[in-house]
Structure 1
Amino acid sequence: MIDPPALTLGEESPGPADLPTLNALIERAIGSWAVTERVKRAALPSYRYEALDLADMRFFTLRDERGAPVGLAAVSPLDGAQDALLLHGLYVDPIRHRQGLGRRLLQSAEAAARQAGAARLVVRAQRDAAPFFAAAGYRPADGDYPYTLNKAFH
């Protein structure tokens, strides 16, 4: 068996020129969701990042040996909460699913939240992703989104 090529995990400060590549990764990830094509088309614009989003988010990427992004996580302030950050997005290229990449990205986002002094990290998960977050220690939380989960740091 051949070992897969190494991936590089790092925090990045993307600029507007990076957005097409990152948004293409998001589009591929959303394409794998277990929802109808109509829902995917309707949802996709709200998940794409724009230049205005770059100022208040921290981005973590996993890149392949060519430097192409295969995973992305973004953390931002949570409106109305002084003690929490929001995991704004966690996306893995479908050809890389079930390889532990999502967990690596999530751990980076959690470390960033702790470093920022947050007491918890909140995620508004897709229904099919809720078990992934539950396995990582996330519990249901109050919120206006059906699958709002959070992980408290002790």
Structure 2
Amino acid sequence: MNTKEGSYKGEVSLSVFLSEFVIQHHFKNHQDIHFDFMIRWEDSLLTWSLQKLPTMEEPIQIGQKIFNHRLKYLDFEGEIGRGLGFCKIWDKGKCWILEWQEGKMGKFLVCGRKDSQLWQLDRKDGNLWKIHTFFRVKAEEILNTTQSFIQG
């Protein structure tokens, strides 16, 4: 991973890390169809489950933070095993971790095959997180603004 400033372990503040993301469409059964939003962080994937992806009309959704997934799920499509259904990749690409405060909040700029978006996640109660997505952002503008802020 590339870093602009700061350490890689633990809480990130005023740092920009280049990472990867994937959004998987998970079909567990007819009643449980959802999306898993995963960000590579250290040796695993931070994962949130969403019933619905944010849209331009509904940019705010509630997601549930679930267990971190293994890195193999960055590229995984197919049957999951143990009766857990199957998944397919909905989108994937590069991710800039703009801010991550473990268990509190995160800001991620994701640039996938479908779109570039800024995702802001704020923990609410328990494992529930408010996920606010800003569409049609220009990656260069976000990174330039963040870099200027870091450098003072």
Same fold (TM over 0.5): no
TM-score if structure 2 supplies the norm length?
A: 0.30
Larger helix fraction of residues: 1
Normalised by the size of structure 1, how large is the TM-score?
0.29
Structure (1/2) with the larger strand percentage: 2
Larger RCO: 1 or 2 (CA < 8 Å, sep 6+): 2
